[in-house]
Amino acid sequence: MIHSALMLTVALSLLTATILALLALPLAGWIVFSGGRASAVGEALLTLTLVLPPAVLGYLLLVAFSPESPPGALLARILGHPLPFSFAGLLLASLIYSLPFAVGPVAQAFRQVPPPTLEMARILGGGPLTVFWKVVVPLSLPGIATGWILGFAHTVGEFGVVMMVGGNIPGETRTLSLKAYDDLLASNGRGGWEAILPLLLFSFGALLALNLVRRSGVPHAPDLTRG
Amino acid sequence: MRVHSNSAVSVCGVALAVGALLLPGLPSGPGMALARDRTLHVAAAADLMPVLPHLAKAFTKRSGTPVRISWGATGEEALAIRHHAPYDLFLAADAATPERLGREGFLQKSSLKTYAKGILVLWVSKKALSATKALPDTALLLQPGIRKFGLANPRLAPYGHAALSCLRKKGLWTKLRKKAVYGNSLAQVAWYLRTGTAPAGFLSESQAMGLAKGSAKGDFVALSPACAPYLAQEMGIVRRSKNVGAARSFEDYLMSAEAQEYLKEHGYH
């Protein structure tokens, strides 16, 4: 069972982090470069799940995904099964609650691209998309890596939302953090070490990776302008 | 009196458990504050949600002692009590957990009393019932129309354990285990039913009666004592309680004819 809880958590976290890393590029680009008032509202919406209590978020997702609600019924028809209590439901929930962790660092990195660099690129004839792909994204790789790592780590550690939306089904939606909780509380158990050790390893690994990314340094913009 | 809302149950349990794990190293600051606090702190199993607030209010009116209730699964609260959570009285959903805590010295052994006998029920939504044109019954769960059913985590919650042993006794568990979804406490199972995410689930009769009063449409059948025995629910006073007098009078009140009558009317045997 630990095997499946471990594999389940790894699969869920890898998928979530990777999908979010891809989504983060256009979302962070919109937040940072569109400059409109709408993007401030957008950023607040994207960051909402950072502040909302996870169990409340889980409850809202349950209400939204319930096969008795119109969007839930539509999704159930597309997928062939209702979204709650399934891996797909867990993945969608993870994408939502880990979103700010993945988008935040990318937006931060985009903001740190020096305006003169962007101006130079524009003067040299780059359209907005070219500037974005050829200048902004390459300069922001450490931020993108940080977003991926945080998205992964946060998904590994999430508890409240997966508990509500997943239904704690062994082999299907019981993640490591749920298993650790169960093992800790069951009075006759051997304690939660089977689940806690991998959780500790993941957390430590993620933090180590973050530090390595930070030390690897950001390629400096002046190099480009000088060239 | 402050009562945590449904939506905070599991979170409270977790927070308390975590808080309890972190706090014992601190000096007796919080304890001293509690000594002057007259409020009675009760940790209660989630099956009592529909009944205990009323009883606590009646007790407060009579004695002048405010009651604060923390909800959770019996197992969650037992862990909190093992780590010296500042409760005065523990109302469990079974007898085994308070008995064990009594043996381990966390509850006063002499204060252990059976205050209620719970009834396990199976609740099925009206929609699922009208689709199958049947009355609620455990065999109904085999119907393909019922994709999932909820029960409280059998390792943490006595009602979940009772549901599991009932399904095992009927030889249904191996066929049904793929359909089971688990809530951390009865309250979370009631959530699944209220939101319509699960069309059926195992509850206490008290919770099912509460659900029937709300927006959820459905019917339920009692499984105690035929399929699972009545759940003898015990309570006990926390040994480190600074409010033993109030805890004792609340125990006496719960055992009084008036309170027992109220419990019988609201889903207890």
Q: What is the mean pLDDT of residues B172-187?
A: 92
Q: Which domains does chain B have, with CATH numbers?
A: 6-117+232-265 (3.40.190.10), 120-222 (3.40.190.10)
- What values do phi and psi take at B237, rounded to 5? -85, 130
Does any CB of chain A come closer than 8 Å to the CB of residue B100? Answer: yes
| pTM for the model | 0.77
Pairing of strands B89-91, B40-45: parallel
Q: Which residues of B fall within a CB distance of 8 Å from A56?
A: 7
Name which of B14, B75, B195 is nearest A187 (Cβ-Cβ).
B75
pLDDT at A224 over 70: no
pLDDT tens sequence across A11-68: 999 999 999 999 999 999 999 988 788 888 888 888 888 889 888 898 888 888 888 8
Does any CB of chain A come closer than 8 Å to the CB of residue B145? Answer: no
**CB pairs below 8 Å between A and B: how many?**
79
Number of domains in chain A: 1
What pLDDT does A170 receive?
79
Say if the Cβ atoms of A59 and B79 lie within 8 Å: no
pLDDT at B212 over 60: yes
Chosen for mutation from A158, A185, A196 (greatest number of chain B CBs closer than 10 Å) is A185
Q: What is the mean pLDDT of residues B105-122?
A: 96
What pLDDT does B6 receive?
41
pLDDT at B200 over 80: yes
Where does the pLDDT of residue B24 fall: very low under 50, low under 70, confident under 90, or very high at 90 and above? very low
What pLDDT does B21 receive?
45
Q: What is the mean pLDDT of residues A193-206?
A: 90
Q: Which residue has the tokens 């304690």?
A: A191
CATH code where residue A80 lies? 1.10.3720.10
pLDDT tens sequence across B86-100: 899 999 999 999 999
What are A215's strand-pairing partners?
none
DSSP per-residue string spanning B70-138: EEE-HHHHHHHHHTT-S-SEEE-SSSHHHHHHHHTTSB-GGG-EEEEEE-EEEEEEHHHHHHHT----G
Q: Which residues of B fall within a CB distance of 8 Å from A59?
A: 7, 191, 195
pLDDT at B27 over 80: no
What pLDDT does A218 receive?
54
Full residue range of the structural domain in which residue A133 is found: 2-226
* Amino acid type, A52: L
Does any CB of chain A come closer than 8 Å to the CB of residue B78? Answer: yes
What pLDDT does B26 receive?
42
Does any CB of chain A come closer than 8 Å to the CB of residue B192? Answer: yes
**DSSP conformation class of A65:** H
What pLDDT does B237 receive?
97
Distance CA A225, CA B222 (A): 77
pLDDT at B122 over 50: yes
Q: What is the mean pLDDT of residues B20-34?
A: 43
What pLDDT does A193 receive?
83
ipTM of the complex: 0.70
Average pLDDT, chain A: 87
